[in-house]
Amino acid sequence: MKEKQVYAIALLLLIGVAIFTPMFYKLGTMVAGPEGVDAHVYGIQWTPSGTPNEIKTTANAVPKDEIGTTPYPDDPEYYYSTRWQRPDPYNPDITFGIYAKPQDIEYTVSELKYGVRIRQAQVHEVNIHGDPLGTRNPTEIVWYSWDTKTVETEDQVEWKRHEAFIVPVDFVFEISCRASKDGSWGPIQDLHYWLVLDTVRWYNAFAEPYAQIESNDPPPEGAELKAYNYRGAFPIWAWVEEWDPFVIQNDVGDVYDVNDLPDELDQYLEISPSVGGSRLPLYNEPNWQYIDMFASDIVKDDNTLMSTLANEYIGNFPDPRFAETVYTPITLSNYGALKQWGGWWVTYWEKYYYPTSYIRVRALYAIWGEWIYLWTKQEADDQGYQWQNKTSIIIEHDSAWDQFWGGVAEGLGGLLSNPLFWLASGLLGTFIMIALLIVFAGPALIGFLGWLFGRRARGKNG
C-alpha cells in the first residue's frame, strides 16, 4: 500500500514538472507577413552609468519583466528600474520609474511609459513592375552581378552567377514618452533599442522554382547556364533620412508653434543617431563588439579570404561582410518629460511636456531572385495600410489665482455673449436712471412744480 502511494506521489510530481516546466510549452510562432524587408525591435539594453546589462529580447520577455535596475543615489530604499509593459516587437512599451521598497513593500514614486512603433518597411516608390525608382522598364534594370566558383574538375569548372539590383527601403522608428503615474517627469539615459532588419522569405523559397531566373548576360561559349530559384536581399547602407524631435499638440488638441517651446526641452530629446544623414551601423549580431575586416587584412592573409568564400551561404553575397539579417541600435541618450513650475501657494503653476519623436531610416538593399509577393508603397496603398502619426502632449496646470481670474473672465465672456443679458441690463439701467433722478433731482423738481402751480394760482386770483 505504501509503495502504491509513493508511486502515485511520484506520478503527480512528474505531471507537475511537465506542466510547469517551460520546455514542455509549445512556443508560438509569429506570422512572417509579406515577403520583403521586415524591421522590428529585437531587444532593449539599458546601461545606466555604463553598467553593462545584457540585451533583453522581445522574444523571451513577458510583461513586468525587469530590463535593468540601479540604486537611487544616497538612499538604499529607492531605486530606478526599467520593466517590460508590452514586449511586442512592433509596438513595444516599457516603464521607467523610481520605486521604493521600505519593509519589503514596493510602491511607485514616479513612473514614465516609453512606447515605440515601427512602421512597416516599404520599398520606396516601387511601381508594379518591380523597378526601384519607377523610371525604367523592367527589361532595362541595371543589374549588379558577381560570380562564385563552386566546382572544379579535370575538364570542367562550374560557376554560379548572382545578379541583383539596388532598392531603397524606408521604415519609421517612433518613440513617445507618457506619464504612467500623474505628475511623473524626467529623462531616461542610455537606453538602447536594438532594431533588426530581416529579409522575410516564405519557406517555399527553397522549394522547386516557380519560374526560371533569366540572366541579362548570355553565358560564355561552351558554358552551361543554370538558374537558381534562391532569392534574397541584403542591406549595404543605412542612414537617418528624416528626424522630427517634437510633434506638437497640447492635451486638448491645440497645435503649438515650435517657437513657443522652451529651450531646456532640447535636453530631453537627445536620441542618437538623429541628425539627417547620420549613418547607422549594420551589425550581423546584436553586439557592440565586432570584427572589422579591412582590405589590408585580405591582402595579408589569403587563407582568410579563401576560407570565408568557401562558405556556400556567404558565397551568395558579393562580399563576405554582408548579411541578410542585420542589427542596429538607436539610443535614448537623454530622453523624457520636462516639467516647468513657478510661483508660490495660490500663484503656483506647472507645465508638463511629454514628447513624441520620429526617425525615418532609409536602407539600400541589394535584391535578387524571383519574389512571390513584395510589400511596396503601392501595395500598401492598394490594401489601405495608412500610418497615423502620434503627437507630443503638453499639459498645463494654471495657478489657483490664474484659475480664479480665468473663471471670472470666462464667466463674463459667456454672460456678455447672451442677448437676454443686454435686455435685462437695458431695463435695469432705465430703472436705475429713474431712481437716480428721483433721488438727486426730486427736491428741485418738486420746488419747480410748486413755483409753477403757485404762479398760476396767483394769476387767477389777481
For 204-263, the pLDDT digits (tens) are 655 544 434 455 556 666 655 554 456 678 888 899 988 888 766 655 666 666 677 888
pLDDT in tens, 374-408: 777 777 788 888 887 777 788 887 766 666 556 55
Burial of residue 202 (CB within 10 Å: 0-12, 13-18, 19+) is middle
C-alpha cell at 411: 464667466
Q: How far is CA 27 from CA 22, 23, 30, 59, 361, in A?
A: 9, 9, 10, 10, 32
Q: Is the pLDDT of residue 88 over 90?
A: yes
Tabulate helix, strand, coil % of the chain (nearest 5).
30, 35, 35
What is the reported pLDDT for 86? 94
Q: Of 460 and 372, which is predicted with more confidence?
A: 372
What is the reported pLDDT for 441? 66
Q: Cβ distance 58 to 89 under 8 Å?
A: yes
Mean pLDDT score, 65-90: 91
What is the reported pLDDT for 244? 83
What is the reported pLDDT for 334? 95
CB atoms < 10 A from the CB of 413, how many? 9
What is the reported pLDDT for 29? 81
- Distance, in Å, from the CA atom of 280 to the CA atom of 18, rounded to the nearest integer, reads 45
What is the reported pLDDT for 442? 62
C-alpha cell at 369: 531572385
Q: How far is CA 159 from CA 20, 148, 155, 219, 319, in A?
A: 53, 6, 14, 11, 16
What is the reported pLDDT for 342? 87
Q: Cβ distance 186 to 354 under 8 Å?
A: no
Which residue type is seen at 49? S
Every domain of the chain and the residues it spans: 36-401, 418-462
pTM equals 0.73
DSSP string, 44-90: EEE-GGG--PPPEESSS--TT-EEEEEEPTT-TTEEEEEEEEE--SS
Pick left, alpha or beta for residue 134 (phi over 0 → left; psi -120 to 50 → alpha; otherwise beta).
Answer: left
Mean pLDDT score, 297-324: 65
Percent of the chain with pLDDT over 90: 26
pLDDT in tens, 28-48: 788 888 888 899 999 999 998
Percent of the chain with pLDDT over 70: 60
